[in-house]
Amino acid sequence: MTEFRFSVNIFEVGSPDKFVRWCRAVEDAGFDAMYAADHLGVPAPFPVLVAAAGATERLRVGTMVLNAGFWNPALLAREIATTDLLTGGRLEVGLGAGHMRWEFEAAGIEWERFDERAERLESTVQELQRSFTGSGFDEQAALREAFDLPVLRPVQRRGFGGYGPPLIVGGTGDRILSVAAAHADIVSVAGAVQLPGRPPGTFRIATATEADDRVAFARARAGDRVEDIEWHTLLQAVVETDDRAGTAAALAERFEHTVGADDLLDSPFVLIGTVDEMAGQILRSRERYGFTHFTVHAPYREIFGAVIGRVRALAGRPPEA
């Protein structure tokens, strides 16, 4: 896939009127999708997505990403199918293994080893597909049909083996990227790397070299599916400046020097520069890594809206001789 898509990830909604205005501003700025997070202390994702779709005309909505450890697959299938129905088939489902130990403990859910959480993620994907095909609810479906009641199914037939909404899976490790390559319609190569010896969820920005390696790994695992996958990443920062080097040095200090300034300038997971320079970074990321779908966090919505317009203007130009 070579067409660009752009999206924004949100963590708060405010009042109903404020949220409606915000969603419409996102759509007007040229974004293609809006995603809701799945963390304790932020709004529950599915009501947010239904409200966002109701406030807009074309904006796709999704999760970035659901913590598989929080969800019973049968109940999650009901949430997904209902939300896909109420959003008019605009839902995208992002699933992850979860990485914040304190959230599990606060929710009273057992914190599992990484390999166990990865296995839970893959089994959740498989259980959702079985649910959407009907095999997970055969008795209930037969009973509802006997009383002429509709059987709840997703509107879309794009993901989960052609029985549900598009599926997003992403990460940095071999295990999660293997799951993504095997099952996802949208593979997200994460730009955050767990710091060794630090609490789970303590990250640093990944480098360009690491991105090369992770993309190559995921593409190799995707096999014949590779050209049908949309390659995605979440940008960790978008900073407008006329002084790229100075700004990168300041960011490196803010990140406690877990990554160097030169690495930040070269990383596909951070945009630094003028609007034109950042648009150029997006175009180079498509050429080098195959990324065509970029998500930013809500605080970067306005500046990234300007970058979106510039990228699309540049992408529409014929190649230079």
Which residues in the chain land under pLDDT 70?
1, 135-145, 317-321
Amino acid present at 166: P
User: Is 120 in a helix, a strand, or coil?
Assistant: helix
**What is the token pair recorded at 146?**
């006997």
What is residue 140's predicted lDDT score, i.e. its pLDDT?
62
- Residue in the structure block whose two tokens are 């809006």: 34
Instruction: Give 138-148 pLDDT, tens digit per residue.
Output: 556 666 667 77
How far, in Å, are 58, 242, 248 from residue 51 at the CA level? 13, 38, 37
What is residue 200's predicted lDDT score, i.e. its pLDDT?
73
Amino acid present at 237: A
Q: 278, 314 in Cβ contact below 8 A?
A: no
Per-residue DSSP letter, 159:
B
pTM beyond 0.85, yes or no:
yes
Q: How many whole angstroms separate alpha carbon 28 and alpha carbon 20?
A: 12
Helical axes 45-55 vs 16-28, angle rounded to 10°: 60
What is residue 142's predicted lDDT score, i.e. its pLDDT?
66
Instruction: Give 33-46 pLDDT, tens digit per residue.
Output: 999 999 999 999 99
